[in-house]
Amino acid sequence: MALLEMRDICKSFSGVYANDHISLTVEKGEIHALLGENGAGKTTLVNILYGIYTADEGQVLWKGSPVDFHSPADAIASGIGMVQQHFSLVRRMSVLDNVIMNLQGNSFFLDRKASSRRLMELADKYGMHVDPQAMVCDLSVGEQQRVEILKALYRDVELLILDEPTGVLTPQETEHFFRILRTLKAEGYGILIITHRMSEIMEISDRVSILRDGRKAAELTTADTDPAELARYMIGRNLKEAYDLDQVSSQDALLTLENVCLQGGGRVRPVNDVSLTVHKGEILGIAGVEGNGQKELAEIVAGVKRCSSGRITLDGKDITDLNARRSYEAGISYISDDRLRDSLVTDMDVQENLILKEFRNEPFSTHRRMHFKAITKNAEEKVETYKIKTSGKGSVKTPVRLMSGGNQQKLIIARELTDSTVLVVASQPTRGLDIGATEFVRECLVSQRNAGKGVLLISADLEEILELSDRIAVVFGGRIVGILDRKDATEQQIGLLMGGIRQKEVGA
């Protein structure tokens, strides 16, 4: 008898099927991976299981008997725990309070001493060290994830659902995390893990179910499959093997940063004495755990922020003090890591967003009057070229907020990559995108490189960095802690640098 069985689950949102007759089983002591692109219905499915949504049709069987969850409380009471993609921790409460919140076994008055003891025991058992008294907001992302898992384990769950658990971890943290999962598996826990990283699925799972467009495309035993087959089921075609980076980048410096610093509000400098060079026809990857100054660095280069000291040149010209508009005019394109905040006006439509940086210029306006015919024509061309799905009747007049993340990103790329582009600053350009859109974005960056332009690629995704970069700089605490050539770089090495271990010690 399976621990969990979901039978013919259907769920539609305003007439569109998010889940169309999906069936799934998880056994005790099994790690079952759920794979699929964004919008394939993975999160909907687990949310139904966890009682956040109610299924329109279908049945959930827990240990053989039908159950009907109306809230997470029901799911937890039955023994199902979930670690959500965006952690659900109360930041300004202690680790302990987060773990024991609303526990069924709690007496009216909390016994924090006993709970703390039990939490420590549990943490020790699985090698997840946390300080029960620490405030959650003071913890690193990896630590917060440990708290989430402990929170579930503390509730005596038998099935653990993990939604994209490794997206925010360094390779070392991921390895540690997988060790924990293996221990849990050996103890008989059932684990349902959502991920889109093939390598992780191959490494950790026993079986894998692949969803596509709300339907179950396949269920495979991991040992009998390979990443290419998984990708085929997931996107319905073969994945591009590798990017064409054969053409050698030139030795001409395009962008140089000399001792660039940014003074933050506090005592630490978000960007501290950064010097680097991007050559023509080169992709320089910046690897690092998020929050180590990457965003600030990107904003300094793009002119959004001004550095407090140091010098920046582009093609020999000093651009240190240029603002965002002048930087753009100098040929710097900026793809921000936060599309909704930095790159788009979400209530405006496609055609308006496409001219946000050019609306002052001909042919879009003359003498401060806008020419909507030209604007619409421009938009229609770009939508065609970049295959942007505007998902709406009005086509180029669709408000951007109604579009999917992948199409929003395509729109930004269509706007930013123009003929006058010299340097592309791309910050987490594929974050939250599905495989198809990711591939498209990466191809765009590579084609810019091959056209002799420079690309500064900032990404927390190591696979992406290794796949695309000619050279890789690693940031930690606002400093560059190492620059490696693509051919010498290993994931292991970069991972250590990302964790703050110096290049000398890594032995590179």
Note if the bond before 429 is cis, omega within 30 degrees.
Answer: no
Amino acid at 326: R
- Does residue number 401 form part of the binding site for other proteins (CB under 8 A)? no
DSSP state of 402: G
- Does residue number 327 form part of the binding site for other proteins (CB under 8 A)? no
Q: Among residues 167 and 500, whose Cβ is nearest to other proteins?
A: 167
- Does residue number 76 form part of the binding site for other proteins (CB under 8 A)? yes
Whether residue 425 contacts residue 448, with contact meaning beta carbons closer than 8 Å, is answered with: no
For residue 426, the minimal CB distance to other proteins (Å) is 26
- The residue within the footprint of other proteins, chosen from 68, 106, 125, 338 (CB under 8 A), is 106
CA dihedral 389, 391, 395, 396 (to 10 degrees): -60
- The residue within the footprint of other proteins, chosen from 97, 164, 200, 349 (CB under 8 A), is 97
State which of positions 135-154 bind other proteins (CB under 8 A). 151
Nearest CA-CA partner of 300 in 263, 254, 329, 262: 262
* β-bridge pairing 317-318 and 309-314: antiparallel
Q: How far apart are CA 497 and CA 161, in angstroms?
A: 31
Question: Which helix (DSSP H) or strand (DSSP E) does residue 488 occupy?
Answer: none
The stretch near other proteins (CB under 8 A) out of 75-83, 313-321, 398-406, 480-488 is 75-83
Q: Among residues 91 and 389, whose Cβ is nearest to other proteins?
A: 91
Give the DSSP per-residue string, 310-322: EEEEETTEE-TT-
Token pair listed for 133: 């008294």
Nearest CA-CA partner of 468 in 409, 421, 426: 426
For residue 286, the minimal CB distance to other proteins (Å) is 29
Q: Among residues 402 and 466, whose Cβ is nearest to other proteins?
A: 402
Q: Which residues contact 40 (CB under 8 A, 6 or more apart)?
A: 211, 212, 213, 214, 234, 434
Residues 341-360, mask of contacts with other proteins (x by CB under 8 A)? --------------------
Distances (CA, A) of 6 to 23, 26, 71, 217: 5, 9, 17, 16
- Does residue number 71 form part of the binding site for other proteins (CB under 8 A)? yes
Distances (CA, A) of 65 to 51, 189, 209: 16, 18, 23
For residue 408, the minimal CB distance to other proteins (Å) is 17
The stretch near other proteins (CB under 8 A) out of 79-87, 260-268, 371-379, 467-475 is 79-87
For residue 191, the minimal CB distance to other proteins (Å) is 18
- Does residue number 160 form part of the binding site for other proteins (CB under 8 A)? no
* Alpha carbon of residue 503 to chain centroid: 26
- The residue within the footprint of other proteins, chosen from 1, 77, 114, 370 (CB under 8 A), is 77
For residue 214, the minimal CB distance to other proteins (Å) is 18
Q: Is 68 exposed, middle or buried (0-12, 13-18, 19+ CB in 10 A)?
A: exposed
Q: Among residues 50 and 62, whose Cβ is nearest to other proteins?
A: 50
Q: Among residues 109 and 316, whose Cβ is nearest to other proteins?
A: 109
Residue 139 C-beta-side C-alpha neighbours within 13 Å? 26
Q: 252 by DSSP, 3-state: which?
A: coil
Number of C-beta neighbours around residue 86 at 10 A: 8
Distances (CA, A) of 501 to 25, 218, 268: 42, 42, 19
Q: How far apart are CA 384 and CA 58, in angstroms?
A: 40
Number of residues near other proteins (by CB under 8 A): 32
The stretch near other proteins (CB under 8 A) out of 104-112, 139-147, 171-179, 210-218 is 104-112
- The residue within the footprint of other proteins, chosen from 57, 66, 88, 221 (CB under 8 A), is 88
Q: How far apart are CA 50 and CA 194, in angstroms?
A: 14
Cα dihedral across residues 144, 150, 154, 160: positive or negative: positive
Q: Among residues 76 and 193, whose Cβ is nearest to other proteins?
A: 76
- Does residue number 122 form part of the binding site for other proteins (CB under 8 A)? no
Q: How far apart are CA 115 and CA 97, in angstroms?
A: 9
Amino acid at 245: L
- Does residue number 309 form part of the binding site for other proteins (CB under 8 A)? no
- The residue within the footprint of other proteins, chosen from 89, 220, 332, 496 (CB under 8 A), is 89
Identify any residues that bridge with 209 across adjacent strands, giving them in sequence order: 34, 219
- The residue within the footprint of other proteins, chosen from 25, 98, 292, 438 (CB under 8 A), is 98
Q: Is 266 exposed, middle or buried (0-12, 13-18, 19+ CB in 10 A)?
A: exposed
- Does residue number 53 form part of the binding site for other proteins (CB under 8 A)? yes
- Does residue number 110 form part of the binding site for other proteins (CB under 8 A)? yes
- Does residue number 422 form part of the binding site for other proteins (CB under 8 A)? no
For residue 439, the minimal CB distance to other proteins (Å) is 26
- Does residue number 316 form part of the binding site for other proteins (CB under 8 A)? no
The stretch near other proteins (CB under 8 A) out of 103-111, 256-264, 293-301, 439-447 is 103-111
The stretch near other proteins (CB under 8 A) out of 82-90, 198-206, 235-243, 328-336 is 82-90
- The residue within the footprint of other proteins, chosen from 8, 64, 92, 127 (CB under 8 A), is 92
Q: How far apart are CA 282 and CA 140, in angstroms?
A: 33
- The residue within the footprint of other proteins, chosen from 58, 72, 167, 291 (CB under 8 A), is 72
Specify the residue for token string 């971890």: 169
- Does residue number 228 form part of the binding site for other proteins (CB under 8 A)? no
For residue 53, the minimal CB distance to other proteins (Å) is 6
- The residue within the footprint of other proteins, chosen from 3, 55, 100, 496 (CB under 8 A), is 100
In the complex, the residues that contact other proteins under the rule CB under 8 A are: 47, 50, 52-53, 71-74, 76-77, 82, 84, 86-93, 97-98, 100-103, 106-110, 151
